[in-house]
C-alpha cells in the first residue's frame, strides 16, 4: 500500500490526550493531524503499551496474509495511532482494539461518524 487511506477501510484512531480531555479536544487533535501538524515529543507511554499489545496479536510489519490492516504500517505519532481496518477483518479485531484502548486509558475516535469513545472510568481497588 502507498500509505493513503483506502476508501473501503474502517478507520479508527486512539488518542493519548491529557486526562480530562473532551471529545471536542479529540476532534481538534484529529483535524491537526489531518493538516500534517504532529507534536514533536516522545510517544505517550499509553500509546506504546497499546501499540505493543495490538501488534503482538495483529502485526503491522511485515505484511502477511490475513492481516486486518488496510494500510501498513500503522500511522503512529506521539499522541495517537491510526488504525485502518480492512472491511473483511474479523469482529474480534475491533473488540480487541476497544478493549486495549480502554485498558490503556486512550480515547477512541471513529472516523466514519466522528464519534469519540472515552476510556471507561478507572476502577478503584476494593
Question: What pLDDT is recorded for position 1?
Answer: 38
**What was the pLDDT predicted at 125?**
54
Q: Does a structural domain hold residue 123?
A: no
What's the predicted TM-score (pTM) here? 0.85
Domain membership of residue 107 (yes or no) is yes
pLDDT at 40: 85
Q: What is the pLDDT of residue 17?
A: 94
Judge whether 22 lies within some domain.
yes
| 82: in domain | yes
- Residue 34 located in a structural domain: yes
What is residue 65's predicted lDDT score, i.e. its pLDDT? 79
Q: What are the backbone angles phi and psi of residue 17, rounded to the nearest 5°?
A: -95, 175
Give me the residues of the chain with pLDDT under 70, please.
1-8, 122-126
In a domain, 37, yes or no: yes
Number of domains composing the chain: 1
How much is the pLDDT for 80? 96
Residue 20 within any structural domain of the chain: yes
Amino acid at each position: 500500500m502507498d500509505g493513503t487511506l483506502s476508501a473501503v477501510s474502517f478507520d479508527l484512531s486512539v488518542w493519548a490526550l491529557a486526562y480530562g480531555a473532551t471529545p471536542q479536544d479529540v476532534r481538534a487533535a484529529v483535524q491537526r493531524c489531518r493538516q500534517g501538524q504532529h507534536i514533536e515529543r516522545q510517544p505517550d507511554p499509553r500509546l506504546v503499551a497499546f501499540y505493543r499489545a495490538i501488534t503482538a496479536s495483529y502485526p503491522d510489519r511485515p505484511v502477511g496474509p490475513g492481516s486486518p490492516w488496510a494500510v501498513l504500517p500503522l500511522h503512529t505519532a506521539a499522541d495517537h495511532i491510526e488504525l485502518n481496518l480492512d472491511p473483511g477483518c474479523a469482529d474480534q479485531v475491533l473488540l480487541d482494539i476497544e478493549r486495549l484502548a480502554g485498558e490503556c486509558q486512550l480515547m477512541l475516535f471513529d472516523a466514519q461518524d466522528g464519534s469519540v469513545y472515552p476510556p471507561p472510568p478507572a476502577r478503584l481497588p476494593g
